[in-house]
Every structure is written in structure tokens, then in C-alpha cells.
Structure 1
Amino acid sequence: MRARAFCPGHVTGFFEICKEKDLLSTGSRGAGMCLTLGATSEVDIADSDRQDFRVFIDGERNEAEVTRAVLRHLIGKDKKNVEVRTVLQLPQSQGFGMSAAGALSAALATAHILGLERQRAFEAAHMAEIECGGGLGDVSAIHRGGITIREKPGLPPIGKVHRIDGSPDMVLAVVGELLLTKSVLSDPVKARAINAHGSKRVDELIQTPTLERLMTLSHSFCVESGLASDEVIEAIEATSGHGMASMSMLGNSVFAVGKTDQLKDALSEFGQVFTCKVDTQGPKML
């Protein structure tokens, strides 16, 4: 059997690492935006005399650790041949939530074929992301959609996620080398800096839940936490007068809102630029 699903990408502006004993309660507090650019996965499942998973990303065979973990959660020990073909609309390891989008789109298509509830797909993707170090809060945010504040960590309904109204145009720019989420989250010094600067900003945004406040808090977080590279800071500064910008967590990349054409021109000096909108529709079967 075959099924296809799309999942939005996601950018985080700031966050706090929150580890609990169980995976569904683990995650992050933070804020960010879901993107109309994301990942589409086509899944084929057939009965077999053994279990075999094959994953292709953008046409190339890939170890796809997170997607494989998703399949294990959903299929268990059943003997199935599973082929997943995922197409990404944004670069990986640049803070655009492609790990979560790829895993969740594959999870939704797999759950559809197996006759499982949609929530099972979200649970499988959330747990796989955390197990593999791919991310902490992207799946929770995508579960809610739009511009989000993750007040309580974990996947909803365990986690608590609010939505800020709006669906603005966005400009995304890659300005540096790949940044592996796992390498940052596993660094004790960086993790302490993230939590020291992230927690209070979540509380501040809850008090004033606006896009403008989110962007302001994101900018101060990326600078004060020490996560932003010189290239990222220079790119952000180049957007002055055209809108508001900050670093996409966790990537050597920038997300911006404001005067779209001027932002595109300013950021294209630093690297590849993409435009999209904030996604409010969420993942869907195709």
C-alpha cells in the first residue's frame, strides 16, 4: 500500500531545554513559526518474510536515523518491507525543522496505511526526534500550527502550546555551514547558556504574545546566548530598516519578517534565500 503526506517546516526563535523521564513529556519551552515550506514523504509498505526499511531523501539513499526510529515506533517487529521517499523544500541542519518535517510526514503516511490514529504519528515523530537528537520542540509546534509559544514542554496534550494570530510572509536565508542540533544540545556549556537565556523569554512572550515581541526576544536571545556566529549577526544587521530578523535555532541561518523584497535583496548577499508564509494548516495527507 502507498500513501503521501506533507508536513510544514518550523523555525524556533528561542527556547529552553526541558528533559523529563518519559519522551512524550520531554521537549522544550520556546517560540517560533511553522512554515509553508516543508517535506513531502511517499511511503510504500508491503508484507514480507523479514523487516526491511529503505529511506531516500531527495532521491538519494539515506540512513535517516530519525525516520527509521519513527518506523520502528509505528511498525514494531512486524515483518514489512517499507520504502520512504522524502523530498525536502529547505536545507537540512539549518534550523528549518526539516528533520521533524521529514519524520512527521513519513509518520503520517505510515500511520494512514496501517490504520493508526493521527496522534500516533505525532507521538512517533516526537519521540524519534528526541531519541536521535534531531530536535526538541518542532513536532509540538507543528502539532499546534502557526506562530507558537510552547509554554509547557512535551507533545500536546501533555505539552501546552499557544498560537499567536497572524500568517505573515517570511524570508529565510542560509548564511553559514551546517550546524548539527545534536552537537549543540549535547554541549553542557551551550545547554546552560540556552536555558539561562531562554526560560525568561518564554515567560515574557506569554505576557505580551505578539509577533513583534517574539522577534525582539529572539534577536536578544541569539546574541546573549552566544549561539549566533559573526556571519549570522552580520546578516541580521543587514536587514535593519527593512523589518525584523533573528537566527533560526539551531542553524547558521536567519529568518525575517517585514518588507519582503528588501529583505530578500539584503540577505541574498550572504547566501541562499527562500520565501514562504507562516503555515496555519498543519500536516496533511496528499
Structure 2
Amino acid sequence: MSAAGLLAAARALIGAVGIADAEEEGGIGGVASDADNPPTEYDLASLVAHRTERRLSSGLGDVLALSAGGIELRLEPGAPGEYGRAVGFDAALSPILVWGEVGKHTGDYIDDAAWKVRISAAGEDAVSRLRQGKWDQNKWPELLHESANFAEISGLHGEETRQRLLNKVEEVLTLSGQSEGHVARLCMLGTSVAILPLSLDMSPSESDVRCITTQLDALGLNYLRTTI
């Protein structure tokens, strides 16, 4: 289940059980409560979703990312409202998510000692640069650069299934005439690619998007237009 799915399920569970008794007892599940700043239903649901995500090895802090909203940067690992810290900024962005054959489960990476070291080292290196300065729309070009850099340094870029899909999506951008305004970036960790604009200042037209999706259809690729 995705982080969004976990969070929705946790909110439904908290809502069904009720949180009044938990608040009176001084907190629930490790979320501190006091009279001036009691935990909200969203706080409690985020903690439940985060712990479930960790237990299932199904994500790398995605629940924490959702708590920041928008285009986010995870600064410190941990549960929202506890040790975890993330920042985000809003952007009118509609990425196209493209996926192909089924690859490895997230747990296959984060439970593997060698992969864990490479991914952690590459990620910490990228975040050390991205966290410098104000996190806003001006960071977008740097974020695109660091994304490609992370995929290369971590070794994820070199996996055959990912490389094959990335090559196909880059071919789509070339054939559709959209390679000058868009870029393809690997998603982590599944076998999927996001088609993103090079600039947040100029949103692609519906005609541009149709050019891309027509080529995706021609190559038989699965895709979904999403929003942030």
C-alpha cells in the first residue's frame, strides 16, 4: 500500500475509534499531548501510518513527506511530529508517471546491507546540498540535477529494467518534440519514471501533453497524469 493509502486508512481507523479518550490520557502511540497543544487526528494518523510503513519496509519516509506537502525535502528521518522534519513548497505541477515491468520491492533494497549503504550515502550527499538556502521554487533546477546525480551514484540508474524504461521515456520526449521543455527522471524505488517540466515558470500546454501521451500510447507504456 502507498503512503497515501496508509495515511487514509489510519485516519479512517482513528476516526472510527475516536481520539477523545486518548487525548485525556495524555497522548497516544508516542505523540505527546498537553492542554495547549493536543495532537490532531491527522497527527495521530500520520504516526500510525509511519510506523506501519516502517514495519512493512514499504517506503523511505513517504508519510513524512506527505506531512510537508507540495514538493518536499526530507531533512531528518522519523515520524511526523516526533523526530522527522520535512519542508515543502507549492507548485502547479502535473507530472506524468510512466511505469513498465514489475521490479524489486522497496524492502529488497532497504533490507539489503549493500544497497542500504549506497542509497543512504548518495541521498545524504544530495540532501546536504539541497538543504542549503531557502526551499522554494528557485530550487527546482537544482532538484532535477540532484535527482539524476543520486540515481547515478547510488547505482539505481544502472539496473537493467530501470535503464530500459528511462531510455523509452527519453525516446518518447524526442519523438514528441518535447525534449527541450521536459525531462525524464527515475522514481525511487519502483520501476517507474516521472516526466517533468524543466521550468516551473512555464506550464506545458494541453497540446504538449497530448504529444507526449500519444507517443506513450504508441510504445505501449502505462502512464498516469498526476498532480502535486
Pairwise TM-score range, normalised by the shorter structure: 0.7 to 0.9
Q: Secondary structure at the match of 1:277?
A: coil
Structure 1 pair 211–267 and aligned structure 2 pair: CA distance change class (3 A): farther
Kindly indicate whether residue 196 of structure 2 is the aligned counterpart of residue 272 of structure 1.
no
**Amino acid of the structure 1 residue aligned with 2:90:** D
Unaligned runs of 5+ in 2: 20-40, 174-178, 198-203
Equivalence for 1:120:
44
Counterpart selection for 2:210 from 230, 242, 261:
261
Structure 1 pair 146–103 and aligned structure 2 pair: CA distance change class (3 A): same
Query: Residues 125-274 of structure 1: matches in 2 within 5 Å?
Result: 125-157=49-81, 158-207=83-132, 209=135, 210-228=139-157, 229-238=162-171, 239=173, 240-258=179-197, 259=204, 260-268=209-217, 269=219, 271-274=221-224
How far the C-alpha of 1:267 sits from its partner, in A, is 4.2
How far the C-alpha of 1:234 sits from its partner, in A, is 0.7
How far the C-alpha of 1:140 sits from its partner, in A, is 0.3
Computing the radius of gyration from Cα coordinates, the structure with the larger value is 2
Q: Which protein has the bigger helix share?
A: 2
Unaligned runs of 5+ in 1: 1-97, 279-286
How far the C-alpha of 1:201 sits from its partner, in A, is 0.7
**Amino acid of the structure 1 residue aligned with 2:163:** D
Kindly indicate whether residue 4 of structure 2 is the aligned counterpart of residue 101 of structure 1.
yes
Q: Which moved more, 1:245-254 or 1:111-120?
A: 111-120
Partner deviation per Cα, 1:190-226 (whole Å, 9 max, x = no partner): 1111122111111211226422221221122112322
Partner Cα distance (1:211, 1:274) in 2: 22
Q: Secondary structure at the match of 1:191?
A: helix
Equivalence for 1:61:
none
The structure, 1 or 2, with the larger RCO (C-alpha pairs under 8 Å, 6+ apart) is: 1
**Amino acid of the structure 2 residue aligned with 1:110:** L
Partner Cα distance (1:235, 1:201) in 2: 26
Equivalence for 1:57:
none
Structure 1 pair 206–267 and aligned structure 2 pair: CA distance change class (3 A): farther
Q: Which protein has the bigger strand share?
A: 1
Partner Cα distance (2:215, 2:181) in 1: 9
Structure 1 pair 263–198 and aligned structure 2 pair: CA distance change class (3 A): farther
Structure 1 pair 223–198 and aligned structure 2 pair: CA distance change class (3 A): same
How far the C-alpha of 1:110 sits from its partner, in A, is 1.0
Structure 1 pair 224–262 and aligned structure 2 pair: CA distance change class (3 A): farther
Structure 1 pair 216–179 and aligned structure 2 pair: CA distance change class (3 A): same
How far the C-alpha of 1:163 sits from its partner, in A, is 0.9
Partner Cα distance (2:215, 2:156) in 1: 22
The structure 1 segments of at least 4 consecutive aligned residues displaced by more than 4 Å after TM superposition are none
